[in-house]
Amino acid sequence: MTGTTHPDVPAGITVHRWGAGNGDGMVIDVVTRGGSRVHGIGVEPPADASRANGPTWAYVIEDDGVTLVDPGHLGSFGFLADGLKVLGMKPSDVDRVVVTHGHWDHDGGVVEFAEASGAEFWAHELWRAYSPYSYGQLLRADESPLRVEMTRIGERMRDAGPRRYGGSVSSKSNRTGEPGDSERKPGGSGRDNYDAVRSGMKVDHALVDGFKQGSMEYLHTPGHWPDELTIRLGDLIFTGDHILPEITPHPSMAYKHPANLASTLPARYRDAGEVWGLRAYLNSLHRVYKLGRGLTVMPAHRLFNRDQFRMTDEGRAAETIAFHLERCDALVKAIDGGHTDLEPATRELFSYRPLTDSYHLMSAASETISHVELLEESGDMVVHDVEGADGVRLELTGSRNYRDVIGALIPG
């Protein structure tokens, strides 16, 4: 730990090993009502990955065999194996590895772990459909005006070189979730290796919504990513990046499946609006909130941060919905104030955080787009593809239907 004394430990948690102030290297036990044994390991990222959110929390669940949830990044196997050793376990004790969704800080470690343990690989059935494609390939396949303009923004930023807007670069974490937090910054070879490894991974068991295994129930909760799973075990919910303490996860943008990808999908997923975009994410948050009261969130990031446990419950889902309503309000205010192009609107929306490189600007633009899309769908905005010029123009219609759409999902 970074401090000199151990912080208060919440009821129901036993610390086997303290780690860094952000949770790297920590090993804990979690008490469940039903008697299942649950352990948590703060799996440190490799050197070439972003450290913005600290470790990926991997959970070892002893119920109907041994299940490992989210083994972490490609390159983190040593940290995970060390945590298992603290628990008196070894990789071969694990029967199956389950990933909450297909981002490299969650599924990147599957191949290394499976090779060392012989464990099966379980993921939502959509994971297999998307696994041959990198995130960049998926984006490039969508040629909507907003997506094309986002690409132009990134290219202009790269061509212009580093710039400063509104003050010096700050290293302070964004309380609402930095755009793209759970993705690494460009550079290094880890991401390239991950894309190659991921495309060759085979799923042993494709999970569907409502599947039950022992005392666990797997729920499909898309929106941050289309294959996101939330796992319920009694009074615990393992939320991956769907619900996080301290920060709000990055919502995906709306998407239209290319024909070659759509043909591989079960019919229930061919309407991409059910699994991509802010509306899908808000609906999933509402679903988790309605699971019941008194649930403890076991997130993939920031369970422990700044030398404190950051415990939260299902109410965090409602708080996250309310945050996105506030962000839509802020976007409307920005456009009403004359920021009618995507880049100025993005910079106004994220004015608290200087966007000084193409990576962070592109990430912020993608989150702005997710809110633009919801406003457009609700009839509150029109997106004009400006002919004869680069860019789009955002125009308000004067209605505020989005407040009813989102407000209906916020508990009274």
**Domain CATH number, residue 215:** 3.60.15.10
Q: For residue 383, what are the domain limits?
A: 145-176+321-407
Q: Please give the DSSP secondary-structure letter assigned to residue 203.
A: -
In sequence order, which residues have a C-beta less than 8 Å from that of residue 80 and are 6 or more positions away? 41, 43, 58, 71, 72, 109, 113
Rounded distance between C-alpha atoms, residue 218 and residue 278, angstroms: 21
Range of weakest confidence among 37-46, 182-191, 263-272, 296-305: 182-191
| Residue 260: band (very low, low, confident or very high) from pLDDT cuts 50, 70, 90 | confident
What are 275-301's pLDDT values in tens digits?
999 999 999 999 999 999 999 999 999
What are 222-255's pLDDT values in tens digits?
999 999 999 999 999 999 999 999 999 999 999 9
pLDDT at site 375: 98
Return the residue matching tokens 């991509």.
276
Query: What letter represents residue 178's amino acid?
Result: E
Rounded distance between C-alpha atoms, residue 37 and residue 88, angstroms: 14
Contact status, residue 91 vs residue 66, Cβ threshold 8 Å = no
* Residue 7 located in a structural domain: no
3-state secondary structure of 38: strand
The most confident of 35-39, 46-50, 159-163, 180-184, by mean pLDDT: 35-39
Share of the chain residues as helix, strand and coil, in percent rounded to the nearest 5 = 35, 20, 45
Q: Residues 242, 160: one domain?
A: no
Q: Is the pLDDT of residue 190 over 80?
A: no
Q: Is the pLDDT of residue 136 over 50?
A: yes
127, with CB counted inside 10 A (0-12, 13-18, 19+), is: buried
Strand residue runs (E) in 80-235: 96-98, 120-124, 205-207, 211-213, 216-220, 229-233
What sign has the CA pseudo-torsion 277, 282, 288, 290? negative
Contact status, residue 72 vs residue 43, Cβ threshold 8 Å = yes
* Residue 59 located in a structural domain: yes
Return the residue matching tokens 């379980």.
122
% residues pLDDT > 70 (the chain): 90
Q: Is the pLDDT of residue 187 over 70?
A: no
Main-chain dihedrals φ then ψ at residue 140, nearest 5 degrees: -65, -25
Q: Is the pLDDT of residue 386 over 90?
A: no
Domain boundary among 288, 314, 340: 314
Q: Residues 282, 306: one domain?
A: yes
Q: Is the pLDDT of residue 62 over 50?
A: yes
Rounded distance between C-alpha atoms, residue 262 and residue 255, angstroms: 11
* Residue 185 located in a structural domain: no
Q: What is the mean pLDDT of residues 370-381?
A: 98
**Domain CATH number, residue 382:** 1.10.10
How many domains does the chain contain in total?
2
* Residue 274 located in a structural domain: yes
What are 198-227's pLDDT values in tens digits?
989 999 999 999 999 999 999 999 999 999
* Residue 98 located in a structural domain: yes
Q: Is the pLDDT of residue 174 over 90?
A: no
Q: Residues 207, 331: one domain?
A: no
Q: Residues 394, 286: one domain?
A: no
| Averaged pLDDT score across all residues of the chain | 89
* Residue 357 located in a structural domain: yes
Q: Residues 223, 355: one domain?
A: no
Q: Is the pLDDT of residue 182 over 90?
A: no
Q: Residues 342, 382: one domain?
A: yes
Rounded distance between C-alpha atoms, residue 257 and residue 278, angstroms: 16
Q: Residues 223, 357: one domain?
A: no
Return the residue matching tokens 């308000």.
396
Q: Residues 107, 216: one domain?
A: yes
Q: Which residue did the predictor score with more confidence, 303 or 176?
A: 303
Q: Is the pLDDT of residue 400 over 70?
A: yes
Q: Residues 76, 216: one domain?
A: yes
What are 103-121's pLDDT values in tens digits?
999 999 999 999 999 999 9
* Residue 30 located in a structural domain: yes
* Residue 352 located in a structural domain: yes
Q: Residues 45, 93: one domain?
A: yes
pLDDT at site 139: 78
Paired tokens of 100: 């909450």
Domain boundary among 314, 347, 368: 314
Q: Is the pLDDT of residue 264 over 90?
A: no
Q: Residues 265, 365: one domain?
A: no
What are 22-57's pLDDT values in tens digits?
999 999 999 998 889 999 999 999 988 888 899 999
Q: Residues 238, 297: one domain?
A: yes
Rounded distance between C-alpha atoms, residue 366 and residue 28, angstroms: 36
Contact status, residue 238 vs residue 298, Cβ threshold 8 Å = yes
Domain boundary among 256, 282, 314: 314
Rounded distance between C-alpha atoms, residue 234 and residue 317, angstroms: 18
